[in-house]
């Protein structure tokens, strides 16, 4: 997540889905008969082989979740694919680095293909679970920038997604092909950027800007979280966040959309904020707070039986009330 929206990773090493920056959305659920549900973009193929459905061990994907990014790794056909996905601050965009490493002792030539789906849509009416989607986006290939432009036909919104270095070619309107050659143990990085804006020109300008600042965006994003997973226990040892506090965050879970975990470095991890659709400002303890966006969606919604420190609470737009035993 970032300040303006969120995105989800799919069950593969590179795919992204359910991208929402209200009132804009991408890869949501197309409003058509026999809708396929959430669409996926940036789904990867190696020499035409769909890695997401490969049999084990080639089909195994290792996921690592951090407060500021998601890291995924998959090894197939002596190639290791590693991705790092995050949302740059204060942009309607998703950024992902894709690193491909040749694990063999021989020179390798191969083709990586990426299925780009769009369904960009603008919906000014409230939506709850399913992000909206339009199935009939107009798709235009921009060979110079190495990206595809998706334009909605029923609303004012456009989306761009592409790579640097630019793909070798496009097929079937939306399949981007990257022909690659790697020496023994050599690796190469593809920089993927997805943007959403009110029109095609704005989406392309944002895409070009983020591609040009890709390294800066990665460095900026890394500064929003800990350098590695090993920093979680070190934070516990410094008594900034206790292990008991961390596990207690699960009480916020049930149907709490817009899940967000923000570590504020300025106070050495002593303040933790969880953004939720429920509860305007539920203060738990020790600087842990739940912010609410409930009034923007449904003023009558309620979240009951929120368990914390042995007690139960009910959360409404007016706040959190302790339930009677």
pLDDT in tens, 137-168: 999 999 999 999 999 998 999 999 999 999 99
Indicate whether 237 and 163 sit together in one domain: no
Average pLDDT score over residue span 212-234: 67
pLDDT of residue 35 exceeding 90 = no
Q: How many residues does the chain have?
A: 325
pLDDT of residue 97 exceeding 80 = yes
Q: Which long-range contacts (CB under 8 A, 24 or more apart) does 50-56 make?
A: 51/12, 51/13, 51/76, 51/81, 52/10, 52/11, 52/12, 52/13, 52/15
Token pair 């490969």 is at which residue?
Answer: 54
- The answer to whether residue 174 is domain-embedded is yes
Q: What is the pLDDT of residue 283?
A: 53
Q: What is the pLDDT of residue 248?
A: 38
For the domain that residue 106 is a member of, what is the CATH number? 2.70.98.10
Collect all residues with Cβ–Cβ distance below 8 Å to 43 and sequence separation of at least 6.
10, 12, 14, 15, 50, 52, 114, 115, 117
Average pLDDT score over residue span 43-56: 93
Answering whether pTM is above 0.85, one says: no
- The answer to whether residue 175 is domain-embedded is yes
- Residue 28's pLDDT band, with cuts at 50, 70 and 90, is confident
- The answer to whether residue 318 is domain-embedded is yes
Indicate whether 197 and 251 sit together in one domain: no
State the residue range of the domain holding 192: 6-222
| pLDDT tens digits for range 12-22 | 999 999 999 98
| pLDDT tens digits for range 269-280 | 333 444 444 444
Indicate whether 94 and 194 sit together in one domain: yes
Indicate whether 245 and 306 sit together in one domain: yes
Count of structural domains, the chain: 2
3-state helix, strand, coil in the chain (%, to 5): 15, 40, 45
pLDDT of residue 106 exceeding 60 = yes
pLDDT of residue 61 exceeding 90 = yes
Instruction: Return the percentage of the chain with pLDDT > 70, whole number.
Output: 70
| pLDDT tens digits for range 248-267 | 333 333 333 333 333 333 33
Last residue of one domain, picked from the residues 222, 250, 279: 222
Indicate whether 15 and 123 sit together in one domain: yes
pLDDT of residue 287 exceeding 90 = no
pLDDT of residue 236 exceeding 70 = no
- The answer to whether residue 130 is domain-embedded is yes
| Average pLDDT of every residue of the chain | 78
| pLDDT tens digits for range 162-208 | 999 999 999 999 999 999 999 999 999 999 999 999 999 999 999 99
Indicate the range of 27-36, 237-246, 273-282 predicted with least confidence.
Answer: 237-246
- Residue 290's pLDDT band, with cuts at 50, 70 and 90, is low
Average pLDDT score over residue span 92-109: 96
Indicate the range of 81-85, 86-90, 211-215, 257-261 predicted with least confidence.
Answer: 257-261
Q: What is the pLDDT of residue 313?
A: 73
Side by side, which strands form the sheet with 319-322? 303-308, 311-316, 319-322
């Amino acid at each position: 997540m970032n300040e303006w929206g969120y995105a989800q990773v799919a069950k593969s090493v590179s795919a992204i889905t359910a991208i929402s920056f209200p009132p804009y959305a991408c890869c949501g659920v197309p409003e058509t008969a026999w809708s396929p549900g959430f669409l996926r973009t940036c789904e990867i193929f190696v020499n035409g082989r769909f890695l997401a459905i490969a049999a084990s061990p080639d089909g195994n994907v290792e996921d690592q979740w951090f407060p500021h990014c998601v890291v995924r790794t998959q090894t197939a056909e002596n190639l290791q694919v590693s991705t790092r996905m995050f949302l740059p601050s204060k942009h309607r965009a998703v950024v992902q680095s894709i690193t491909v490493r040749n694990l063999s002792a021989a020179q390798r030539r191969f083709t990586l293909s990426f299925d780009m789906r769009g369904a960009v849509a603008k919906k000014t009416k409230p939506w709850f679970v399913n992000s909206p989607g339009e199935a009939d986006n107009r798709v235009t290939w921009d060979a110079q920038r190495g990206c595809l432009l998706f334009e909605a036909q029923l609303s004012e919104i456009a989306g761009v997604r592409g790579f640097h270095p630019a793909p070798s070619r496009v097929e079937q309107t939306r399949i981007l092909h990257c022909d690659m050659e790697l020496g023994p143990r050599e690796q190469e990085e593809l920089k993927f950027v997805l943007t959403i804006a009110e029109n095609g020109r704005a989406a392309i300008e944002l895409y070009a800007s983020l591609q040009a600042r890709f390294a800066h965006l990665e460095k900026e994003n890394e500064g929003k979280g800990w350098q590695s997973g090993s920093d979680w226990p070190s934070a516990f040892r410094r008594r900034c966040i206790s292990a008991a506090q961390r596990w207690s965050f699960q009480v916020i879970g049930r149907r709490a959309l817009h899940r967000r975990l923000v570590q504020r470095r300025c106070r050495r991890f002593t303040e933790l904020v969880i953004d939720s659709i429920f509860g305007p400002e539920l203060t738990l303890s020790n600087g842990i707070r739940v912010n609410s966006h409930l009034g923007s969606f449904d003023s009558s919604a309620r979240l009951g039986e929120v368990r914390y420190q042995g007690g139960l609470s009910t959360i409404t737009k007016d706040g959190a009330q302790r339930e009677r035993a």
